[in-house]
Amino acid sequence: MFQFHVNSKDLEEAMRKISIAIPPASQKGDNDGIKLAFYKASKKISKPVGLALAFDGKIQAASALDIQDVSAEEDMIEIHVNGKKMESAAYAFGAINTVLEITIDKDVTIVGAGQKVVLQMCQPIVALKQNEAVLQEVEMSKDDFVNFVNFATSCYGDDKVKRGLHCVGIRFLKETKKLCAVSSNGTRCAYAETGNLTYKPLPASKNKGDETSEQNGQENAPVTVVIEGKQLRNAVRNLSNKKVQIGVVSNKLRIRSGSDAIMILTQELAYPMDALLQFIEKMEKKGAWKAPLSKVFQALAIYEVTMEDPLLRMSKKGEAQVLFQGKDELSSATVMCAQNGEVQTVAVDERELKIALSVFDKEKDIIVETAGDKLPVIIRQHEDDPNIITVMPVAE
């Protein structure tokens, strides 16, 4: 028997952090378990601690929690229980905010505030290895990483057949000390880049001598991983530590935040990252206009009043305005703006443009760059901003 106390809020928080990887409930009950491990203080562990781990076949999440008053003969115990039931119990007891007594014997008995829940054991789960060699790793602030991921994942698509566009490509650029990512649904394309990070030194190789220069070259070579967009976006929802470490481990992307760890299996498919990057690099603007994003949304709202076809024509009107007009020309709206160069007339899908604009800070200006009527528009927040979204034109 293994018995201990734990604050219900701590249990709730641990389960919330691994919830992104808890498998859905199975009627057969053969693949819906999570692993729980509890340790009492010993020579190796200074204080009692618990660990919750879930793996749904694509993403694995682990979170530690403090426990107290351990009563057990053995130093640790590892069990497997139904993930959804444990999650529900944790949330229910968390709402009470009390101290729980958990007893592990043939079953798992959770008692607190006069309430009791008994969970049965289930089949052991398969978990990903946590101690594999790191191919590349960076450290950055949680806020910077969350912003980077949210921007990078803003344009992935739903179609899993069409060239893997449901994924996001991430590239570690150690030589330039940057991290970049790209996603696209075929109409919109997002490019995110950050240099607000530190590359972590890799473990020294056991090989010495003539191989040193070759190894240094390999360490600085770009490392690219392809991740499902939905999995990556979910992975940053519950990060709590101020600093995070992001690394590539074998065929996995690992995200560490304090005592929490998330591992996402990479996708082995022909993702067109190089083609997308070359496409972005080759675009040259002929003109641009700049306006408060809130004013742009107001103009789009006017245009939408009689919109039957989502085609939106954006054209220059004088030296200080841009005209929004549909194919039928029933509604039109103008935006006061600053202009630079030769602003081109471009027709886009209004729905795709609106989604692209919604990614940016609505309290600031937006810059829309144009290169020609048959070329995509480029949207960025300020002139030096490397983070951009492109929107493909549509035929009139």
pLDDT of residue 161: 57
Q: What is the pLDDT of residue 159?
A: 66
Instruction: Please report where in the chains the tokens 């952090």 appear, as a residue.
Output: 17
Which among 219, 237, 231 has a CA at the least distance from the CA of 170?
231
Same domain, 262 and 373: no
Is the same domain home to 113 and 152? Answer: no
Final residue of a domain: which of 280, 308, 325? 280
Contacts of 394 (CB under 8 A, 6+ apart): 311, 347, 348, 349
Percent of the chain topping pLDDT 90: 80
Residue 126 lies in a domain: no
Question: What is the average pLDDT across 214-223?
Answer: 73
Distances (CA, A) of 131 to 57, 198, 250: 18, 21, 11
Same domain, 82 and 217: no
Same domain for 275 and 162:
yes
Last residue of a domain, one of 53, 85, 120: 120
CATH number at residue 358: 3.10.150.10
Domain boundary among 229, 249, 280: 280
Q: Report the chain's mean pLDDT, rounded to a whole number.
A: 92
| Domain-located, residue 254 | yes
127 belongs to a structural domain: no
The answer to whether residues 141 and 260 belong to one domain is yes
For residue range 25-59, list pLDDT tens digits in order. Answer: 765 555 689 999 999 998 888 999 999 999 999 99
Q: Look at residue 213 in the predicted model and tell me its pLDDT.
A: 47
Residue 146: which domain range? 134-280
In which band, very low, low, confident or very high, does the pLDDT at 395 lie, cut at 50, 70 and 90? confident
**How far is C-alpha 15 from the chain's CA centre?**
19
Asked whether residue 128 is domain-assigned, the answer is: no
Other Cβ atoms closer than 10 A to 35: 20
Comparing 93-107, 113-127, 159-173, 315-329, the range with the smallest average pLDDT is 159-173
Question: pLDDT tens-digit profile of 146-165?
Answer: 999 999 999 999 866 567 89
Query: Does residue 305 sit in the same domain as residue 252?
Result: no
- pLDDT score of 205: 58
pTM of the model as a whole: 0.92
3-state secondary structure of 94: helix
pLDDT band at 254 (very low <50, low <70, confident <90, very high): very high
Domain assignment present for 125: no
Q: Which tens digit of pLDDT belongs to each residue from 62-102?
A: 999 999 999 999 999 999 999 999 999 999 999 999 999 99
Assess whether 226 and 357 both reside in one domain. no
Total residue length of the chain: 396
Structure tokens that stand for 321 in this block = 């305005």
Same domain, residue pair 147 and 248: yes
